[in-house]
Amino acid sequence: MSGKKKGREMEVVPGAGATTEKGAAKMIKLVAICGSLRRDSMNRGLIRSAIKLCRECIDGMEIEQVEIDALPFINPDLEAGATFPPPVDAFRRRILEADALLFAFPEYNYSLPAPLKNAIDWASRPPNVLADKTAAMVSAAGGSGGNRSQAHLRQIGVFLDLHFINKPELFIVRGGQPPQKFDADGNLIDPHIKDDLKSLLLSLKAFTLRLHPNISSS
């Protein structure tokens, strides 16, 4: 997806994020967002593992993590005339330039963490920079492993024209049955979950190419 902005006006071209000169191969650009602000979050560890998997064993796709802690609370009063606050504008541009998104987040009170919902609300302000993106989600949380929060994000995605893969799903129950899944720093150490995460990334890659065949992946 690409866009040209003049003030608040931004031309959004669906699925053009990986377009280069005619005939040139381009990596699928995947932006990862962690819904937890905690430094040692297991969900942050899932993103680190996804980045490593893409570098080592998934051709044609690269992941960049985008932080959301600097975003102010959603407030249209902060949209001064034709501009967004600088942190919001920078965040929206990173989303706009991506071909696909990866969300990793815990579950709070049967729903999304507030920082993630805030980031999504800013991204959806007109023009909606999430529209027509492909996406996947993973979660590490207590209890259900985050299946309720994932269901909520899918519901939000319907309104935003954000296209999530349906399978595979990945819910990781924090502190569940042995063996240990994460180390003390939140790094993913379970080889079976790494395989599941790789399968999810490959599914997202295939789905992105199917929905946006103009992307030529190397």
Q: Is residue 3 part of a domain?
A: no
* Among 36, 125, 118, residue whose Cα is nearest residue 79: 125
65-124, pLDDT tens digit by residue?
999 999 999 999 999 877 999 999 999 999 999 999 999 999 999 999 999 999 999 999
- What string of DSSP letters covers the chain? -B--EETTEE--BTT-TT--STT---PEEEEEEES---TT-HHHHHHHHHHHHHHHH-TTEEEEE---TTPPPP-GGGS-TT---HHHHHHHHHHHH-SEEEEE---BTTB--HHHHHHHHHHHSSS-TTTT-EEEEEEEESTTSSHHHHHHHHHHHHHHT-EE--SS--EEETT-SSSP-B-TTS-B--HHHHHHHHHHHHHHHHHHHHH-TT----
Per the confidence metrics, is the pTM higher than 0.85?
yes
101 within some domain: yes
pLDDT in tens, 142-177: 888 999 999 999 999 999 999 999 999 999 998 767
Q: How far is CA 82 from the centre of its chain?
A: 26
Q: Is the pLDDT of residue 20 over 80?
A: no
Is 152 a member of any domain?
A: yes
Regarding predicted confidence, which is higher, 38 or 13?
A: 38
**How confident is the prediction for the chain on average, in pLDDT?**
89
Please check whether residue 7 lies inside any domain of the structure: no
Is residue 136 assigned to a domain?
A: yes
CATH number for position 95: 3.40.50.360
What total of structural domains would you count in the chain? 1
User: To 5 degrees, how large is the angle CA 116–CA 121–CA 122?
Assistant: 100
In a domain, 18, yes or no: no
Phi and psi, residue 162, nearest 5°:
-105, 125
Q: What local confidence, expressed as pLDDT, does residue 176 receive?
A: 67
Residue 163 domain flag: yes
Instruction: Please give the residue range of the domain that contains residue 98.
Output: 23-211
Position 17 in a domain: no
